[in-house]
Amino acid sequence: MFGLLFALALDPCALLPELDVRQIFEVPANTPVRQVRADSCTYIWMGLPPSTAELRAALRSGRKRPSRDNESVSLRIEPLAKPLAEIETRFDKLAKGYNVDRDGEQRVVKPQQIAWVGGLGEKAYWNASLSQLVVARKDALISVVVKRVVSKPEDLAGLAQTIAQSVLRKQ
């Protein structure tokens, strides 16, 4: 029984059901939402169509019609023995930038726009460069990535925090 409860606790899709996504992101009932499972749980849906003003501006300037991009939210739960140490290590690495070896070639990853966030789990940070919120709790790191077509960066951070709070309450 304990094994089943533990598995459910780490299943991101069980902690973030489609109904929660629809409510938090205000996805209309008639908009299809696709669920993708891998090492995370991702929901993808079509974003809002371009506004009348955006369409007029495109037509006047001779540009093609603005696209309707996909929107998404992704939740990943990474079990760790020492999540506080790991989140601090990742924060420092992302804040300073780092090198990575890709196909035998050294590539530089630039410093990210990153800041600590209070009031979530034991420690949390927001990476504005990736629209990613990472939260440390006693036994895992929770990562939430959001993509919205017509959102300001601070709105994306707020949506990610709402998702994280919802997940933490279910733990």
Domain extent listing, the chain:
2-170
Kindly state the percentage of the chain with pLDDT values over 70: 85
**pTM to 2 decimals?**
0.81
Q: Residue 66 contacts by C-beta under 8 Å, 6 or more apart in sequence?
A: 50, 54, 55, 58
Position with higher pLDDT, 5 vs 160: 160
- On the question of pLDDT at 6 being above 70, the answer is no
Position with higher pLDDT, 152 vs 29: 29
Contact present, 48 and 150 (Cβ < 8 Å): yes
What's the pLDDT score for residue 150? 65
What's the pLDDT score for residue 79? 94
Which secondary structure element, helix H or strand E, spans residue 147, and what is its range?
strand 140-147
DSSP string, 74-139: EEEEEE-S-HHHHHHHHHHHHHH-EEEEETTEEEEEPPP-EEEESSSSSEEEEETTTTEEEEEETT
